[in-house]
Chain A
Amino acid sequence: MSMVLILEWVVGIALIGGAIACVTTENILAAIVRLSLLSMVAVVAFALMRAPDVALTEAVIGSGLVTFVFVVTVKELFAKEDKNEEVH
């Protein structure tokens, strides 16, 4: 078993596990951060598939900008949580 093949298996299992952890969690902020980490793993997957252009784009957008728009959107939810109000 070569190095690349082992790396492929590790990345594949990390992708599946990360996606399950991202979708099944109840905490919203945890889900957002896990989505960001999943994007980082996907960058490695794209690089393994010999797609450097796509890996670059996913690194900039998937783990940078998408996380920003999600966090800004749920910001008010946490401001509410601090005041110990009921959160939906």
Chain B
Amino acid sequence: MIQFAGIALILIGIYGLMTTKHMIKLIIALNVLELGANIFIISVGFVKNGLAPILTADVPSDLLNFVDPLPQAMVLTAIVIGFGATALGLAVARKVYGKYQTYDLSVIGGEE
């Protein structure tokens, strides 16, 4: 189910990117998309009745029941990078707001 929810979040994020022209909402939709991608990548490595990939005293020594650690390692760094990208996008948005006094891209482009 969570794998399904990950794909659904990606699609909802794309829908949000297509339907809004407000800069802050675009970045929010991008965050939803990123969250969905992270959940999907994690869920690919899931194993039924699996253990978290950490060796403890209770883990049997044949090590067959772990979930896949590689997607987790990738998502761990991707979340921090996502924060950096969000901060950079918001900094650009603030700069544009300082010039045009609005976050609405259709007003800035003179469409109305």
Direct contact of A and B (CB under 8 A): yes
Judged by DSSP, the binding face of B is helix
0 or 1 for each of B20-41: is its CB under 8 Å from A? (1 = yes): 0010110111011001101100
Interface size class of chain B, counting residues whose CB lies under 8 Å from the partner chain:
35 or more
Judged by DSSP, the binding face of A is helix
**Chain A: interface residue total (CB-CB under 8 A):** 41
A15 touches B43 (CB 8 A): no
Give chain B's interface residues, CB within 8 Å of chain A.
1-2, 4-5, 8-9, 12-13, 15-16, 19, 22, 24-25, 27-29, 31-32, 35-36, 38-39, 42-43, 45-46, 50-54, 67, 72, 75-76, 79-80, 82-83, 86-87, 90, 93-94, 97, 102-104, 107
Query: Can you name 12 extra interface pairs (CB under 8 A) apart from A9-B1, A61-B80, A70-B24?
Result: A8-B2, A15-B8, A22-B28, A24-B16, A38-B32, A49-B39, A49-B67, A51-B42, A57-B79, A58-B38, A61-B79, A73-B90
